A and B are shown apart, each in its own frame.
Chain A
Amino acid sequence: MQRRSYFLNISATLGFIFLYIPIISLIIYSFNKSKLVTVWGGWSWQWYVELFKNDQIMDAAMLSIKIAFISACLAVVLGTMAGFALTRMGRFRGKMLLSGWISAPLVMPEVITGLSLLLLFVAMESMFGWPAGRGTLTIIIAHTTFCMAYVAVIVQSRLSDMDESLEEAAMDLGAKPSTLFFLVTLPLIAPAIISGWLLSFTLSLDDLVIASFVAGPGDSTLPMVIFSKVRLGITPEINALATLMIAVVAVGVVVAMLQLRRTEKSRVEE
């Protein structure tokens, strides 16, 4: 057992280090006074200041956050419905199709979904006049569509794990299906819905390829701005932006894990 642990620990640790090298470098260089990566100019907050003064990035960030928020909310509603349809609604015509349409977006290359949605919007515009031109609306529709697949999968998993007798007990005690959903099922799948929302928000915020296809001429989402900037080279404001995002996520993950530990501990204290 000793020998195996040794080898295992070494290779796993190397893997974790590999995972974090870029992240750590981003953080460190966001504080680097010098623009050049390898020259250390001393600690400085200046890039953070530059970041907030950069209107282009800030506007794009606001737009991305707005789009991500709306898409996440829509995705959660649609995805939960889809998750329910696939686990609790028995057989229906088209169940196989729905199941396929839910699992395919998870692996579909983004260039394909981006192109296909753009062509759809163009065709719809010429046939019905809606959507009139690409813009925020089309990005929201696109993001909602692929995010709802993730939400559906998470909700499905939670529903499958959930003890069905809880829902039966509620029905037995007099709860009609709508009451049952809001009073019993929803509280019990709340963690799944919350993580589905967060996942959708992140995916939407982070999406470059699909947004590039379906965005309008005037819109720039944050990833689009970052992409155009980094193609040209290193911009230190981007380091600052990255560090901020990492910090926010880190706080979120720590909070979530602490919460998880707390509920598990109270469970054991019987």
Chain B
Amino acid sequence: MTASDKASRPNYNPLTKPAPELWRDPDATPFVVFDGITKKFDDFTAVDNISLNIYKRELFCLLGGSGSGKSTLLRMLAGFEQPTSGRILIDGVDMAGIPPWNRPVNMMFQSYALFPHLTVENNVGFGLRREGMAEADVKRRVKDILDMVQMGHLARRKPHQLSGGQRQRVALARSLVKRPKLLLLDEPLGALDKKLREETQFELMNIQDELGVTFIVVTHDQEEAMTLATRIGVMNNGEVVQVGEPHDIYEYPGSRYVAQFIGSVNLLEGQVIVDEADEVKIQSADAGCILHVNHGISCAPNQTVHVALRPEKIQISHHAPEQTENCMQGVIEDIAYMGSLSVFRVRLNSGKEIRVTQPNFARDMGARFTWEDRVYLHWDIDSSVVLTV
């Protein structure tokens, strides 16, 4: 979206500041609180004792594979499931016993759930009419929001006459028109093709900026989460495994699960030989060298740990670098040319396979490295993370 696009949209207020990062403020009161939430279906535990705080104006992403419990958590927030134990608070109010139609929450469904027997206008106006709003006001609000999502000219159509992207915008409009305090989105971009997905991602973020609504998005797509979110909560098997800003989650994963779930990563196994407050050295048979990391860890003596090293942090060269730590030797087994970057698969002397990516910042990158080349891999001491779980 260009600046002029943005300015020409209704309701655009150029003085709106970006959302303050409330979660960094220890005194801020959270807007949504999950307090010890557990949900069991007979013997199956879908959500296991989750406690989570979400702040106003966040775009919080619950990220996880299928069966991780993320959708169940969302549905409990919307009121379609009751927690087996625990409390949910929205804006300080306990939601126990409050049915979905009385909650200050609106949801955008994965399947969009547009009423097939109603026009676009009536779909969007449905929620407003339930509030008992005057007809004239309903029409005005519906028109405004449809213009905002650029669906104004299709107001009289029925859902089966719209394309997938159009339906998605109607669903979004319908969920926003009641100006809820909290908007829940269940895999909002799953049904769209790549190009549409990218456009919609930015539109979602802009709308959220403009309207100041708190978004909670459920997704299995880590790229989507990384693009959209102010913070991400990674879920696995009904538990929240790590919460943090996208940068933190990517650069400082707390566990091997998170490291492998987000982006790709090389894991090098080893034993701690030097354990200081601000640095750690690890003897690794995988790497065939000493791994030096510039942060301290807490673990038992002689515990086996893993060092997580992202492919883009590794430098690859034909000549041996000066450092002996954080330096590995190997042979290039495979090269994949991806246009903007090249991906190398290097087989180390120890037999371990390492993935390295390099941006193709010059046209002749392809000529510099080839299969079967003997290469050296090296990286800085602040490029990797030690994982104890």
Binding site for B on A (CB under 8 A): 163, 165-166, 168-176, 179, 183-184, 187-188, 266-267, 269-270
Contacts and interface: CB of A to CB of B under 8 A. Distances in A.
Contacts of B178: 173-174
Contacts of A184: 115
B160 A266 contact: yes
Interface of B: 78-80, 99-102, 105-107, 109-111, 113-117, 126-127, 130-131, 160-163, 174-175, 178
Contacts of A170: 115, 126
Given A172-B107, A174-B127, A188-B116, A267 B101 contact: no
A171 to B, nearest CB: 4
A193 to B, nearest CB: 14
Contacts of A166: 113, 115-116
A183 B125 CA distance: 13
Given A171-B100, A174-B131, A270-B161, 6 more contacts: A163-B113, A166-B115, A168-B78, A169-B107, A171-B79, A176-B101
Nearest to A188: B117
B162 A270 contact: yes
Contacts of B105: 172
B115 A267 contact: no
22 contacts: A163-B111, A163-B113, A165-B113, A166-B113, A169-B107, A169-B174, A171-B80, A172-B78, A172-B79, A172-B100, A172-B107, A173-B106, A173-B127, A173-B130, A174-B102, A174-B127, A174-B131, A179-B130, A183-B126, A187-B117, A269-B161, A270-B161
Contacts of B79: 171-172
10 tightest Cβ-Cβ pairs between the two chains A and B: A173-B127, A174-B130, A169-B113, A165-B113, A171-B100, A187-B117, A165-B109, A174-B101, A172-B107, A166-B113
A165 B160 CA distance: 16
A264 to B, nearest CB: 10
A179 B132 CA distance: 13
Contacts of B130: 173-175, 179
A79 to B, nearest CB: 22
Nearest to A267: B160
Nearest to B158: A266
